[in-house]
């Protein structure tokens, strides 16, 4: 991923979280700080670009809503953009906070982007070290935004510049104070863009130097990724947009495949959420457009 592409992906993701926090009820995941990291101009530009792109996502709905741009934006964000980022973040943080109650001391966010966890949970500053791992240019870009928003960066939040999709290095983490303790990793929105070999290698390296009980939450696409169209063709649209951006989706797994890949690094699947289970847990009884994304699964896996 090129630095500017990484920044744009992070910005659009933050836009989706900010929109949800400000406009949707009930909340799946309330990132009430996301808006602070986006300028008004950026928010407006992303909004207008999405509305202009409505015919690509759904020509019939674009025609029907042509006189209601706010409803157009709501449809695009809730159908195409937000379901997976919101639900996977909610799931990840639910698991993480449970681990913290059990004594977890270290959290590593792989591909942190404009993540705000450390700022939304100041009560953890004396008990949990957070290591944000991301491309060096993306990380510098984020630091500038944090400074502009006047966020106080506590000593428990560590920035680790690293293009971990190419080569993961524990030395970068050790340089920031990482220790060989039980660790929780999040790897969200990344696996689709790596080959199976790259994912296997990354997970192997992640768990080579942490003790038993360390774990990871990740999302992955199942074997229907390239054949499933999804609601309003949203799965097909996602694959097309990724390819058009120059960062095509490369991998999808059957459950047996992902289970075997994790086992090879000494991990056991503690919990697996299918699209149906995700919908039941996070989207049940909603009256808006939000629903669980087809083909996307979540896993919490633990080192034996």
Q: Which two tokens stand for residue 100?
A: 């913290």
For 187-202, what is each residue's pLDDT tens digit?
999 999 999 999 999 9
| Residue 288 contacts residue 233 (beta carbons within 8 Å) | no
For 163-179, what is each residue's pLDDT tens digit?
999 999 999 999 999 99
pLDDT at 4 (0 to 100): 61
| Residue 267 contacts residue 206 (beta carbons within 8 Å) | no
CA distance 178 to 137: 22
Comparing CA positions, the residue from 58, 52, 53, 43 lying closest to residue 12 is 43
Q: Which two tokens stand for residue 92?
A: 């990840």
CB contact set of 295 (below 8 Å; sequence gap of 6+): 221, 222, 224, 225, 228, 230, 235, 252, 275
Tell me what the pLDDT averaged over the chain comes to. 96
CB contact set of 24 (below 8 Å; sequence gap of 6+): 78, 288, 290
- pTM, two decimals, is 0.96
Q: CB count, 10 Å around CB of 207? A: 23
pLDDT at 99 (0 to 100): 98
Per-domain boundaries in the chain: 3-81, 83-303
User: What number is the average pLDDT over the span 212-235?
Assistant: 98
CA distance 269 to 257: 12
For 63-122, what is each residue's pLDDT tens digit?
999 999 999 999 999 999 999 999 999 999 999 999 999 999 999 999 999 999 999 999
CB contact set of 237 (below 8 Å; sequence gap of 6+): 56, 57, 80, 230
Q: Which two tokens stand for residue 267?
A: 């991990």
| Residue 125 contacts residue 156 (beta carbons within 8 Å) | yes
The percentage of residues in the chain with a pLDDT greater than 70, rounded to a whole number, is 98
CA distance 138 to 136: 6
| Residue 6 contacts residue 163 (beta carbons within 8 Å) | no
pLDDT at 245 (0 to 100): 86
| Residue 233 contacts residue 58 (beta carbons within 8 Å) | yes
Three-state DSSP at 283 gives: coil
Q: pLDDT confidence of 25, banded at 50, 70, 90?
A: very high
Q: pLDDT confidence of 3, banded at 50, 70, 90?
A: low
Give the β-pairing of 267-273 and 296-303.
Answer: antiparallel
Three-state DSSP at 144 gives: helix
* DSSP code of residue 253: B
Out of 3.40.50.150, 3.30.465.10, 3.90.550.60, 3.30.1360.170, which CATH number does the structure's domain 83-303 have? 3.40.50.150
User: What number is the average pLDDT over the span 258-264?
Assistant: 98
Q: Looking at the predicted structure, is the pLDDT value of residue 1 above 70?
A: no
Q: How many alpha carbons lie under 13 Å from residue 26 in its C-beta half-sphere?
A: 7
Q: Looking at the predicted structure, is the pLDDT value of residue 5 above 70?
A: no
């Amino acid at each position: 991923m090129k630095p500017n592409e990484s920044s744009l992906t992070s910005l659009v993701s933050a836009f989706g979280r900010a929109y949800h926090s400000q406009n949707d009820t009930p909340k799946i995941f309330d990132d009430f700080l996301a808006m602070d990291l986006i300028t008004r101009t950026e928010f407006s530009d992303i909004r207008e670009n999405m509305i202009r792109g409505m015919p690509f996502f759904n020509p019939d709905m674009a025609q029907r809503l042509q006189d209601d741009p706010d409803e157009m934006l709501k449809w695009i964000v809730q159908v195409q953009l937000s379901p997976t980022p919101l639900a996977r973040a909610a799931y990840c943080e639910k698991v993480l906070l449970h681990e913290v109650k059990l004594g977890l001391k270290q959290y590593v966010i792989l591909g942190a982007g404009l993540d705000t966890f450390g700022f939304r949970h100041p009560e953890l500053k004396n008990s949990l070290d957070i290591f944000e791992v991301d491309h060096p240019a993306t990380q510098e870009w984020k630091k500038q935004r944090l400074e502009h928003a006047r966020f106080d960066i506590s000593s428990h939040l560590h920035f680790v510049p690293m293009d971990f999709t190419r080569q993961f290095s524990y030395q970068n983490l050790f340089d920031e104070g990482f220790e060989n303790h039980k660790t929780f990793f999040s790897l969200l929105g990344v696996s689709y863009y790596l080959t199976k070999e790259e994912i296997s290698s990354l997970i192997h390296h992640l768990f080579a130097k942490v003790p038993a009980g360390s774990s990871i939450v990740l999302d992955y696409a199942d074997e229907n990724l390239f054949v499933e169209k999804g609601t309003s063709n949203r799965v097909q649209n996602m694959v097309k947009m990724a390819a058009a951006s120059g960062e095509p989706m490369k991998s999808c797994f059957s459950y047996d495949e992902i289970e075997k890949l994790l086992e090879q690094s000494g991990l056991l699947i503690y919990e697996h959420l299918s699209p149906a289970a995700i919908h039941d847990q996070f989207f049940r009884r909603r009256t808006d457009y939000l629903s669980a994304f087809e083909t996307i699964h979540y896993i919490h896996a633990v080192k034996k």
